[in-house]
Structures are given as C-alpha cells and as structure tokens.
Amino acid sequence: DQQVKQNSPSLSVQEGRISILNCDYTNSMFDYFLWYKKYPAEGPTFLISISSIKDKNEDGRFTVFLNKSAKHLSLHIVPSQPGDSAVYFCAASEGGSTLGRLYFGRGTQLTVWP
C-alpha cells in the first residue's frame, strides 16, 4: 500500500510563474520529508527536506511546506525555470528508527515552458 502519494503525474507551468507540487502521506509516524529531482537517464538528486518540527523550509527558489494535521506537504518553486523540468519525487522516513529508510511517491513530471 502506497504510504506516500503524489496524485498528479504531471504539471505544466510557464517560465517565471510558481510551480506547486503536492504530496500526501498516510503514516503518522513519518517525521522527515524530502524532495528529490530526477532528470532523464540520471539518478534522483536531493533537493530539499523538512523535519516534522517545522512547517516551512526555504532554500533559494525552493520552499517546502508541511501540514501535519492534513498529512500533506508541498514544494513551491518560484520563479520556475525551464531547467526545473524534471520528475519530482516526494519521500518520507519514519520516526523511532535509527535508519532513515525512505518511502517514495510515484513522482510528478514538471514541465516549465518558455
């Protein structure tokens, strides 16, 4: 059963505008969340993370928001650039474990057009 869900397989955004990628999870024990970006023929690259003690983390153009009560997180990219076109994976790990075992969503293909 999928514990991390990305319900939008694709998103298309014009350059300069905001991209919002969404992720939902079902396991209330998850306490650490990550976003990875993946270009074709490459492995996933770590982008940004957030701990459950926070509700927002920002790194340059990328901001991740966490809503624990809704079990929902989102990644905002502002402004979007054509180079951001990639598959974005949401991932989560469970508290109480000594190992950061990750559960992944299926990914959202972001296309940023000029």
Written as six digits, the tokens of 77 are 């990219």
Shortest separation between residue 14's beta carbon and another protein, angstroms? 25
Contacts with another protein by CB under 8 A: the residue count is: 27
Three-state SS for 50? strand
Written as six digits, the tokens of 28 are 């209330």
The neighbouring-strand residues paired with 49 are: 34
Shortest separation between residue 15's beta carbon and another protein, angstroms? 26
| Site residues for another protein per CB under 8 A | 2, 4, 9, 32, 34, 36, 41-46, 49, 51, 89, 93, 97-107
